[in-house]
Amino acid sequence: METNGGRPTPEQAQSALAEAEQIQASAAALSATPWPNWFFAALTLYIAALPIAYGGVMADEDWLLPGPSWTGIMMAITALHLGLFALAAKTWREKTGVALRLDVLPKRATVPLAIGLPSILVGSAFVFRFTGSPVWLFAASLIGAAASVGFHLAFVRLHRASA
């Protein structure tokens, strides 16, 4: 790649580009390192529990538990989740040595999820409030858990493919 101060030849430029691409691929593999299993499990449980707790908060009348208890549960699991996220992010960064990036997966997968999943999780509680049927909450819980598992597997595949 040495150019001695002059214009690089097309071969030298091609070689420099190829080397940069190779390094970018190995860095991308590091950025795609999946979360530790304990946090993946915690995240999946949180996503599965959220629509049910929110449904309890939103219910017209007490459903299974008094409304304030559901509010307490929701706040407690959210605080616990945020604490675990901070811990997992710290250990992930220390293990990989790179910054945590949320733009590793393709946008065609992340954008629909970023819009769709909160809509399903929150929307199911509203539907439950109007219909009184908890099936919507359990369906949202299952969809959320499936999305969490799917994304974890996507990271595992991406990490293996680019490593």
Partner 1 sequence: MSPEAHDMPAGFDATIHAPNRLRICALLDTAGEAEFGLVQKQLRLSASVLSKHATVLMDAGYVEQRKAVRDTRQRVWLRLTRAGRDAYQGHLAALRAIVEPADPAAS
> Which residues of this protein are in contact with partner 1, per CB under 8 A?
1-3, 5-10, 13-14, 16-17, 19-21, 23-24, 26-28, 30-31, 94, 96-99, 101
- Give the nearest distance from C-beta 4 to partner 1 in angstroms: 9
> Of the two residues 20 and 135, which places its CB atom closer to partner 1 in the complex?
20
- Give the nearest distance from C-beta 5 to partner 1 in angstroms: 6
For residue 79, the one-letter residue type is A
> Of the two residues 30 and 73, which places its CB atom closer to partner 1 in the complex?
30
* 161 vs 65: CA distance, rounded Å: 47
* 159 vs 25: CA distance, rounded Å: 10
- Give the nearest distance from C-beta 90 to partner 1 in angstroms: 9
* 71 vs 129: CA distance, rounded Å: 15
> Of the two residues 21 and 61, which places its CB atom closer to partner 1 in the complex?
21
> Of the two residues 11 and 61, which places its CB atom closer to partner 1 in the complex?
11
Residue with token string 């420099």: 16
- Give the nearest distance from C-beta 33 to partner 1 in angstroms: 11
Instruction: Report the sign of the C-alpha dihedral through residues 64, 66, 71, 77, in that order.
Output: negative
Contact call for residues 153 and 56 (beta carbons, < 8 A): no
3-class DSSP state of 21: helix
